Structure 1
Amino acid sequence: MARYFFDVHDGSVHQFDDKGTEFDTLDEVREQAMRLLPDVARDQALHESGRNAYTVVVTDEDHHPVYSATLSLVGVWLIR
């Protein structure tokens, strides 16, 4: 099992993962990154503007990037 760190960036705020999580496979790492992004967006989007992008960068124990994913969330008023 190897330890991976999931750092989240939203353009202005960076949340660094100091603990990391152990996974057996890189597929599990990707799945965790994809689960993490909607949770972050759900928590942060209500407090931010209508255009947001959330990126998770996963690094290994040696701090080498192994995976990155970005979720964009855009809300636009359709009335004036």
Structure 2
Amino acid sequence: MSRYFFDIHTGSTFSRDPVGTECDGMEGIRHEAMRSLPAIARDEIPKDGDRQAFTVLVRDGNNRTVYTAALTFAGLWIGDSPIPEPEEDTLS
């Protein structure tokens, strides 16, 4: 197994992983990125806004980015505004 470093970008902060995690190939890297994003989002979704993107950049031992994954939070208040009707197909 090789060691990979999972750097985190939250839109306002960037944190480099100084320790890394040993992963078994591409599926191990993907699994670790997928596991980490919801945990980060759970703690970092802003209390004062409704948009936030979280990105994991995975580096190998040679400092090359080998994988990236992102999770986006978008909240929208639905008030008294009606949902717009779809436009009619003008190509028919």
The TM-score normalised by the length of structure 1 is 0.90
One-letter amino acid of the structure 2 residue matched with residue 9 of structure 1: H
Partner of 2:79: 79
Decide which moves more: 43-52 or 13-22: 43-52
CA displacement 1:28-73 (0-9 Å, x = unmatched): 1111101111111111114452100000000001110000011110
Q: Which stretches of structure 1, 4 residues or longer, exceed 3 Å deviation after superposition?
A: none
One-letter amino acid of the structure 1 residue matched with residue 51 of structure 2: R
- 1:14-25 equivalence runs, <5 A: 14-25=14-25
Q: Which has the higher helix share?
A: 1
Q: Which has the higher strand share?
A: 1
Greater Cα radius of gyration, structure 1 or 2: 2
Between the two proteins, what is the percent identity of the paired residues?
Answer: 44
Q: CA RMSD in A?
A: 1.4
Gaps of 5+ in 1: none
Tell me which of the two structures has the higher relative contact order, counting C-alpha pairs closer than 8 angstroms and 6 or more residues apart. Answer: 1
The TM-score normalised by the length of structure 2 is 0.79
Gaps of 5+ in 2: 81-92
